[in-house]
Amino acid sequence: MLRIKCPICGLRDETEFTYGADAIVRRPDMDETNPQDWLNYVFYRDDPKGPHKEYWHHVQGCRQWLVLERNTLSHEIGACRLAREVPK
Amino acid sequence: MTSSRLSTGGRIDRSTVLKMTFDGRSIVGHPGDTLASALLANDENVIARSFKYHRARGIYTAGVEEPNALVQLRYGARTEPNTPATTVMAYEGLEAFGQNAWPNVRLDVGVVNQLLSPFMSAGFYYKTFVGPFKGTGFWMLCEKIIRQAAGMGRGVTLDDPDTYEKVNAFCDVLVIGSGPAGLSAALAAGRAGAKVILVEQDSTLGGSLLSAPVGGDGDAWLDKMKAELTAMDNVQILTRSTVFGAYEQNVYGVIERVWDHVLAPPAHQPRQRYWQIRTKQAVMATGAIERNMVFGGNDKPGVMLASAARTYVNRFAVLPGRRVVVATNNDSAYAAALDLANAGSSVTLVDARTQVPEKLLDSLKASGVKVLLGHGVLTAKGRGGVSAATVTTISPDGRATGTARHIPCDLLAVSGGWSPVVHLWSQRGNKPVFNSAKACFVPVNSAIETMKCAGASMAADGSVVAVAQGFSAGATAAIDVKAKNSSGDAPIAPKVSHGDDWGRDLLSINTITDDNGKTRGKAFIDLQHDIKQSDIDLAYREGYVSVEHLKRYTTTGMATDQGKLSNFNALSQMAMLQGVPISDVGTTVFRPPYTPIALGAIVGREHGTHFRPTRLTPLHDWHVNNGAIVSEAGAWMRPQYYPERGEGLREAYIREASHVRKHVGMIDVSTLGKIAVQGPDSAEFLNRVYVNGWKMLPVGRLRYGVMLREDGIVMDDGATARLGEHDYFMSTTTANAAKVLALGEHLLQTAWKDLKVHLTTITDQWAVIAVAGPKSRDLLGAVSSGADLSRDALPNNHFVHGEIAGVTVRIHRMSYSGELAYEVYIPSGFGHHVWDALISAGVPYNLCPYGTEAMGALRIEKGHVAGPELDGRTTMKDLGLEGLASGKKPFVGSVLRNRPVLIHQSRPCLVGLEIEGDQGAQAGSLLYLDTGPTEGHGEGWVSSATYSPALGKNIALSLLQNGPERLGETIRVVNFVGGTRQRAKVVSPHFFDPSGVRQND
Amino acid sequence: MIEIRSPLSSSVEPGEYGAQSAAKAALQLSERAPGSLIQIAGWQDFATVTAPALGALGFDGHGNFRTVQTAGPVSCYRIAPDKLLLRHSDGGSFKELLENLNPASSPTLDLSHARWLIEIEGSEVEALLARLASLDFSLQEFPEGTFAQTGIHHVGVLLHRVSADKFLIFVPVTWAESIWNLICETAAPFGFKVIVHP
């Protein structure tokens, strides 16, 4: 069981959230036409062992998308921020 | 008074007699007994038959580590297999049965398996499955018989009559275990003012103190501790509760056996409670488990851990043997020998060591115990149970050096050292380290900042150290959680019998062999899985030397006890074979649960109707009250059809669908996903998520749209209405509402932060009724006011506001059925009221409600795609929706939808099928050329099928390679599951009114 | 005036249920229509833009994510960084509020029919909620006059602690019956009374 500190709602069980996706990848701009950029965004992922950033959605709370730092090896949880406040 | 029950002593309530049965025979016990102690008191010595060889087995331990005495507890729907008799509290009316034996454990026919034992060695299954018998009928037969003969108790297929509940808890300090260390920890943290939960798996607090003679210093100490702890409001004590799992971020799983200690729980009370405890700090004071020794016949009834024998004497006032041989390699068994002798047994203690402190020897001699130093037990003799121990002098590595002699005995109490219970600490992802002086694996106390280990689980040097460690751990934990007060002074440890420091001068041998290094007879490592020492040897010879391989190849440690007794001995044998220190062999990984738990407790109340939450539309009661058959659609319950007298599904939906085309029908479509899209950039947002354009949609209009996933596959479709300048009302399919909302929120909060748009689910705010059929306009015109529904004022894809029965509603004109049709949007709390008004007003128009089945038939006749076509594999082109996509703007999926694989010519595309014959097709059937083999995946598949009342034919929608170019071709429709083969003509998917005359009327 | 139909019409039956409790009414369960519910959203300068309208209702700004602001019959819940949920318990209209807000910068949304209220009250209220949601319901962590959004049986709900022994649960109407039934089952070991408000 992970416990995630939502910046809005406080420390909550992981069951209130849904996992989003890798928060390292950046969505290409809307007018990007190069398929490779989109393939990279949709399909290509690093599989880091250790610290990682990922999106979580507080669906049963404030419905904010969060960027959470999680260690994929130890499950250690680091900072958690509103996705909207994380610079691109 | 039963024969083995002592006349005095014990922590039992002799004033109450509990009547129980074992294998149908009456036994009696007292409150405070376990089933095991009651069985011993009643001279029941054979409790079970072993897993592979059907060897008679008795009670080996007094705790959760029990490998042998597994019983089938209770009967009927409450029966519970593989329950250790040592963990079941005695209660009035208890019924238990021996397992794995026919006709019973005393006389078991399966004992012939022992003769087959050479064929059941390590890797038995792996070998026999690849041998010459592989796949043969002979082997299949053997397998069946062997599988039936091997095995454990029987599971139950009846519904569990009891309830279970889950509770969430929060604390500052969780203390696990209530022996001297755990109690001291709880005291320190409690005094400091921390919120403490103390969890004990036993029925009462005390841990190892409960095994000491009654009336000793330990009892007084325990009473004092209990009094101080129970007086603290900030300390919660859970007994009969096992911490089975330690998880990330200090979350612990606990099962409390609330009402397991009675025949049946009281009305409304849960049998078990699953606590999910979130703490800031934990103190692990889980103690240690004694190990047995490996020698021939070490599994026989009458062989028992020395500490268990002591527990039975002192705690339960049961004498487990009158003539006792105690075999040990450490100090702890001396207390057992002493207490057995003081209770009246004649005792011989056999110590593998040659040097023992005088103090220990003197106390035994004073009680008449004979002591043989430098000796070991080579075999346990006896049929059915132990009748003698074969004892010999041994070398320091456990080999016989002298002539063996028999010492008659009915109890052989063994101690091969102790294993700290490191499971919970290890579950957090840590590897324990080997302490060679004490021959055990111990946790590294600094490894987890929020989990402190104390007492025997750290191999503490006896109770004095355990108390000090526990108190210090509790006090430190309290400081770490910023508790306000001081913990005060540590309690003075109770005076307990000498020998409680089992690690002192322990001789690390666990196996006693002949001088040739071989055990004499069957010497078991894993009693529950019948893994012998020779199986480990064989696995080593065959190259399975890694502990993880060894475990899986031999299955040692994989039984329900998870090798609590056996793991160490298996590792130590492997170390010996490899000629390396045991620390180099390593340990396997511990995972939850620490002891077996009932799945029912984890499930709690989430089963049956609460397996998942159910979603009901505001009109649900009407459907049920008017005879609708409702069916599940995701979480929703929806009316599938409204049968008239005697109708089945098929008759009903055909009638309902025909009725809609002739007159007027209405259906509850409140399940549609509905999302408010608000803000100045809403049109831009819609333009990005839909494939078609939205910038020009005026207020008062609505438009059908399709959304793709980022990878270019179709995700969803639906209509969106523009209610105001910055205010849109989006509808999605029932199934994808949550997905669409989450994706929209994601994009707005990550990539499109510059767009001023808010999304809010309003699915619950609106009831929606679709009114369809040639008379729908007349009906709505009659029942509503303030809305001009005329063809010119309200063409397709327009909406108006009006009033029905005093309720302001919004009427969208759009058709899913192909008929003249409307959707009426009503604030959900008024939905029922408006539905009633429509029903009343509908009489002259012959209005009839219809269900999802008829809705499906109508949409298939029109070739509209739905869930079965939007299956996560199809593109717009596949579905004939290509024309919708705007070429002038980018949208989600607009680049990747043109991946070569998604635009390949041979992709299956949407077509209609007219099925030949009277039988309809089954969705999921595969399509093949009319002539040719029906092999492989075929050329496509049937996605949706129905009988079409309008056409009088069985029709289907399907995806077929090059489909649109094959109109008129006859193909084969094969349903491999149902075994049917049909022929069908490929036609346009727009079966009915392809030019849309009716819906545009 | 047409009465709003309760999503619990076929479930709420006054009476005593579950275990016989020695204490007087360890738990009382009841339902309420929410009255009027309206959501206000916004973007940059959310606080500034909404301040005058909220001020007119008697609120001093949009508050924090835990505290329920109340002014007469109106309560205000800050449910997201830039979303507020206002409840008028008498069902009064938010006409003035709507007039004070510009839909381009502060869109509003009527949610009066989207939620239903389940009220639980009694000495065992914390114990009951601990069996339904994974929050710490002790008074210290969840004081009177605060709220939290969480999940009950996987459904997003809003919990408002009205007093030490009383909570309001805002439930989406389509899930209300399922949640109500689960609450009743969970309350059975304590014994509970279902009451109907006049």
Total number of residues shown for chain C? 198
Look at strands A65-71 and C36-41 and give their pairing: unpaired
To probe the interface with B, which of C5, C152, C174, C181 has the most B CB atoms within 10 Å?
C174
A26: nearest CA in chain B? Answer: B751
Question: What is the pLDDT at residue B52?
Answer: 84
Read off the pLDDT band of A87 (50, 70, 90). confident
Long-range contacts of C81-84 (CB under 8 A, 24+ apart): C81/A8, C81/A62, C81/A64, C81/A82, C81/A84, C81/C46, C82/B758, C82/C41, C82/C42, C82/C43, C82/C46, C83/B758, C83/B760, C83/C39, C83/C40, C83/C41, C83/C42, C84/C39, C84/C40, C84/C41, C84/C50, C84/C54
Residue B382 backbone class (left: φ over 0; alpha: ψ -120 to 50; beta: rest): left
Minimal CA separation from B427 to chain C, in Å: 23
Q: Which residues contact B931 (CB under 8 A, 6 or more apart)?
A: none
Contact A1 B249 (CB under 8 A): yes
Angstrom distance (rounded) from CA B607 to CA B247: 24
pLDDT of chain C, 198 residues: tens digit per residue: 799 999 999 999 999 999 986 666 789 999 999 999 999 999 989 999 999 999 999 999 889 999 999 999 999 999 999 999 999 999 999 988 888 899 999 999 999 999 999 999 999 999 999 999 999 999 999 999 999 999 999 999 999 999 999 999 999 999 999 999 999 999 999 999 999 998
Mutation for C interface: B638, B765, B826, most C CBs within 10 A:
B765
E-assigned strand segments in B222-334: 235-238, 241-247, 251-256, 272-278, 281-284, 288-290, 303-305, 323-328
B829/C4 touch (CB, cutoff 8 Å), yes or no: yes
User: In the predicted model, what is the mean pLDDT of chain A?
Assistant: 95
Which pLDDT does position B115 carry in this prediction?
63
pLDDT at B146: 62
Q: Identify the residue whose tokens are 């009651």.
A: B38
Does B110 score more than 80 pLDDT? no
Are A60 and C155 an interchain contact pair (Cβ–Cβ within 8 Å)? yes
Q: What digits encode the pLDDT tens for the residues B600-634? A: 999 999 999 999 999 999 999 999 999 999 999 99
Q: Which residue of B has its CA nearest to A38?
A: B896
CB contact under 8 A, B613 and C155: yes
Say yes or no to pLDDT of B109 above 70.
Answer: no
Q: Chain B: residue nearest A87 by CA?
A: B750
**What pLDDT was estimated at residue B856?**
97
Q: In this complex, do B249 and A75 lie within 8 Å of one another by their Cβ atoms?
A: yes
Model confidence at B739: pLDDT above 90: yes
CATH number among 3.30.465.10, 3.40.1280.10, 3.40.50.1100, 3.10.20.440, domain B18-109: 3.10.20.440
Asked whether B436 and B508 are in contact (CB, 8 A), the reply is yes
Q: In whole angstroms, how large is the CA radius of gyration of chain A?
A: 14
Tell if the CB–CB gap between C7 and B827 is shorter than 8 Å: no
- pLDDT averaged over chain B? 94
| pLDDT reported for residue B601 | 96
User: How far is Cα B230 from Cα B223, in angstroms, rounded to an integer?
Assistant: 10
pLDDT in tens, B645-675: 999 999 999 999 999 999 999 999 999 999 9
B899-987 has the same fold as B292-413: no
Residue B136 confidence class, pLDDT cut points 50, 70, 90: low
**Which of B614, B624, B674, B734 is the best mutation test for C, with the most CBs of C within 10 A?**
B614
Q: pLDDT tens for residues B372-431?
A: 999 999 999 998 899 999 999 999 999 999 999 999 999 999 999 999 999 999 999 899
Supply the pLDDT for residue B127.
66
B493-539, pLDDT tens digit by residue?
998 776 788 999 999 999 999 999 999 999 999 999 999 999 999 99
CA angle B589, B594, B597 (to 5 degrees): 130
Residues 61-80 on C with a CB inside 8 Å of B are none
C186 closest CB neighbour out of B165, B670, B828: B165
- Nearest C-alpha of chain C: how many angstroms from B246? 17
pLDDT of residue C198: 84
What integer is the mean pLDDT of A29-38? 97
CATH architecture for segment(s) B292-413: 3-Layer(bba) Sandwich (3.50)
Residue B50 confidence class, pLDDT cut points 50, 70, 90: confident
For the domain bounded by B899-987, which CATH number is listed? 2.40.30.110
Give the C-alpha separation, B69 to B101, whole Å.
13
Q: CA B84, CA B62: separation in Å to the nearest integer?
A: 9
The structural domains of chain A, ordered by start, are 3-23+34-85 (3.30.2270.10)
Query: What residue ranges define each of the domains in chain C, with the CATH number in brackets?
Result: 15-34+113-194 (3.30.1360.120), 36-110 (3.30.70.1520)
Q: Considering CB atoms only, which of B278, B747, B749 is closest to A64?
A: B749
Q: E-strand spans in B642-678?
A: 664-668, 673-678
Provide the shortest C-alpha distance from residue C18 to chain A (in Å): 29
Amino acid at B774: P
Tell whether C10 is within 8 A of chain B (Cβ): yes
Q: Which residues are bridge partners to B987 per DSSP?
A: B912
* Closest to C187 measured CA to CA, from C64, C7, C27: C27
Higher-confidence residue of B546 and B831: namely B831
Report the pLDDT value the prediction gives residue B51, as an integer from 0 to 100: 84
Q: What is the pLDDT of residues B348-380, one digit of tens each?
A: 999 999 999 999 999 999 999 999 999 999 999
pLDDT for C123: 95
Q: Which CATH class is domain B164-288+420-480?
A: alpha beta
The nearest alpha carbon in chain C to A13 belongs to C134
Tell me if A60 and C150 make a contact (CB, 8 A cut-off): yes
Provide the pLDDT for residue C117.
Answer: 98
For chain B, what is the largest distance between any 2 Cα atoms, rounded to a whole number of angstroms? 114
Report CB contact under 8 Å: C151, A60.
Answer: yes
Quick check: C104 and B764 CB within 8 A? no
A82 touches C at CB < 8 Å? yes
Cβ pairs A/B, distance under 8 A: 64
Least confident of B79-83, B443-447, B587-591: B587-591
- Bridge partners of residue A53, in order along the sequence: A69
Q: What is the pLDDT of residues B151-183, one digit of tens each?
A: 678 888 899 999 999 999 999 999 999 999 999
Do the interacting molecules here have an ipTM over 0.90? yes
What integer pLDDT is reported at residue B587 of this predicted model?
83
DSSP state of B492: P
Give residue B586's pLDDT: 83
Here the tokens at position B720 are: 């969106």
Spatial distance between the Cα atoms of B355 and B373, rounded to a whole number of angstroms: 7
With beta carbons under 8 A apart, name residues in chain B contacting C155.
613
Q: Do B898 and A35 touch (CB under 8 A)?
A: yes
Does residue B1 surpass a pLDDT of 50? Answer: no
Domain spans in chain B, listed from the N-terminal domain onward: 18-109, 120-149, 164-288+420-480, 292-413, 524-578, 673-764, 899-987
Q: Look at residue C136 in the predicted model and tell me its pLDDT.
A: 98
Q: Provide the CATH number for the domain formed by B673-764 in this structure.
A: 3.30.70.1400
Contacts of A39 in chain B (CB under 8 A): 896
Verify whether the Cβ–Cβ distance B168 to C133 is below 8 Å: yes
**Measured between CB atoms, does B676 come within 8 Å of chain C?**
yes
Taking the model in full, what pTM does it have?
A: 0.95
Q: Evaluate if residue B72 carries a pLDDT over 70.
A: yes
Q: CB contact, 8 Å: B805 with chain C? A: yes
* Contact (CB<8Å) C65/A64: no
What phi, psi does B518 have (nearest 5°)? -105, 145
Looking at the complex, does the CB of residue B693 fall below 8 Å from at least one CB of chain C? Answer: no
